[in-house]
Chain A
């Protein structure tokens, strides 16, 4: 029997009080995600249950019980407090998927500070704009990434401490750096947690839009209500499950479901901190007897590419439920999954700003391959007319997705960008920026983005950010960035550039520009193709017509070109 039971029954009289009751929360109580994911689980009699099975490069393994993660998170919180970190200070986590990332996240929340996880592959400029926006006080990182932080010191006077979790003592620490070894530190058993309440800020994740710099999405401790219940009902996490969320906590799935959803349900979860290989992933599932697996379409399509025969070499019989997030899961992937694993991947739709799943497929519900499913109980969703923002009642007619605000994990604002936040609403609906249709049975079908943001492997890349970075390359005079289709990643970044006098197009220059962006922003933002043009298509007022370039890449009609400056 699944946790959700009957979806139809659940939506009839749903209230978030279900989650509040199960988490022993009453309005006005202290609520702290760090405490709920560790101390509370211990108090429920699961102190000796395994909370984390971690495997790193080369097969190194570490295991932690819930009591051990309780003490470890206390220890990190204690250390931060000793450095003068106070409630609502921003503490950045800039690490690979090592245990300190997961434990540090909860340790930060326990002292009421705001956790700011950032993807460790970010280049120094991507790191800078996010730290500068948040005026981050402390960054926790690894030796291998500290070089990128050191480059920013002069521009980051607000950054008081750089904590290195794996300092080996071979080289001296530099300005503002402190070594912290979690395993050698005295483990703190008794710890006074900061009395955060429902609306106390908890997490700041950054996301990209079409224009402007990345925006910090502010979440609060009450978000745990959504993350707990969706993990329980959609991922169907049960006490005996071994759960694996493949997402990196540098992105929202990695925190909402790679930390909060899993541990607030008292689940044993696995983390594999190694690069992707189909064989390594199957081996990891087999070895740890993983039963619930939450992954992403890009990974699933990469597994498909590795072939069905490889699957037969492993005993994957422990798997009982699979789910996917990040970008639309194509029907072929669902059908392939049924064929090779004997069960489909259940697609889920949500985003950084929503904090938890909004549209999903549920255990026991008929899956329509390629559909995002139906709204989670308590979520009011609609397809809206693009001009009036009124709900479209006609089936299969595309429009903007809209959600009525009010669910617990809804972002509270964009950090220092209240005006931008307000623009995300129209006619009382929150607009996530995607288009969809609803069929006769109430299933949602993804149509596309409503803007120029590029969704590559489930991560949003701002064309504006890449175009700006391209202009900093000495050879580039002008740039335009669009998505192009990709079999595995759904979309990848493509750049069109014109060159400054004295530079000639060449393959070597293309590679040089690609690497320039990879190091400055991130591998995700690196154009996978650069096309040299004599001039970019522009309107007569000088605005670059990205729309035309995108249509060309996707084989679509380029539309109205009456405003094109064809001089």
Chain B
């Protein structure tokens, strides 16, 4: 889980963070914090699916479920099982 968190956090920083001075944690709000918008969420979902060879149903990929790295990893783990 810890490794997954680091991978997801780094992906978010590399792909979506515009303000290079902003520091993100596992609990930083990504969707409600305006870092990842609803359209970009599609590419984040696709990254998770490719990386972990899973399929996340669209109705589970909600702004709430994608709002922090911690929440994302909890969601991914549900489909890894």
Residues of A near any B CB (own CB < 8 A): 57-58, 96, 121, 143-145, 147-148, 170-171, 273-280, 302, 305-306, 456-457, 507-508, 510-511, 514-515, 518, 523-524, 526, 528
B residues contacting the other copy or chain, number (CB 8 A): 29
Q: Which residue, B22, B30, B38, has most C-beta atoms of chain A within 10 A?
A: B38
In the complex, number of A-B residue pairs with CB atoms less than 8 Å apart = 80
Contacts of A528 in B (CB 8 A): 39, 42
Given contacts A508-B50, A526-B39, 12 further A-B contacts (CB under 8 A): A143-B19, A147-B18, A148-B18, A171-B21, A275-B32, A275-B35, A275-B38, A276-B32, A456-B39, A511-B50, A523-B39, A526-B43
Docked Cα-Cα span, A276 to B22, in Å, equals: 20
Contacts of A508 in B (CB 8 A): 50
- Would A507 and B34 be within 8 Å (CB), given that A143-B19, A277-B64, A526-B40 are in contact? no
Interface flag for B47 (CB, 8 Å): yes
18 A-B pairs, CB-CB below 8 angstroms?
A143-B19, A144-B22, A147-B20, A273-B34, A274-B34, A275-B30, A275-B31, A275-B34, A276-B32, A276-B63, A302-B38, A457-B39, A507-B50, A508-B50, A510-B46, A511-B47, A518-B40, A523-B37
> Which residues of B (11-46) have their CB < 8 Å from a CB of A?
15, 18-22, 29-40, 42-43, 46
Given B19, B49, B67, which contacts A144 in the complex, CB threshold below 8 Å?
B19
In the bound complex, do residue B19 and residue A523 qualify as a contact, i.e. CB atoms below 8 Å apart? no
Docked Cα-Cα span, A298 to B48, in Å, equals: 25
Where chain A touches its partner, the secondary structure class is helix
Q: Which residue of A lies closest to B15 (CB)?
A: A515
Docked Cα-Cα span, A218 to B78, in Å, equals: 52
Docked Cα-Cα span, A518 to B42, in Å, equals: 11
Min CB distance, B7 to chain A, in Å? 14
Residues of B near any A CB (own CB < 8 A): 15, 18-22, 29-40, 42-43, 46-47, 49-50, 59, 62-64, 67
Min CB distance, A519 to chain B, in Å? 8
Docked Cα-Cα span, A280 to B33, in Å, equals: 11
Docked Cα-Cα span, A518 to B15, in Å, equals: 10
In the bound complex, do residue A121 and residue B37 qualify as a contact, i.e. CB atoms below 8 Å apart? yes
Q: Which residue of A lies closest to B36 (CB)?
A: A275
In the bound complex, do residue B63 and residue A275 qualify as a contact, i.e. CB atoms below 8 Å apart? yes
Docked Cα-Cα span, A274 to B18, in Å, equals: 15
Q: Which residue of A lies closest to B59 (CB)?
A: A305
Contacts of A523 in B (CB 8 A): 37, 39-40
What 3 pairs between A and B have smallest CB-CB spacing? A144-B19, A523-B39, A275-B31
Contacts of B46 in A (CB 8 A): 507, 510-511, 514
Contacts of A143 in B (CB 8 A): 19, 21
Contacts of A511 in B (CB 8 A): 43, 46-47, 50
Contacts of B63 in A (CB 8 A): 275-278, 302
In the bound complex, do residue A524 and residue B39 qualify as a contact, i.e. CB atoms below 8 Å apart? yes
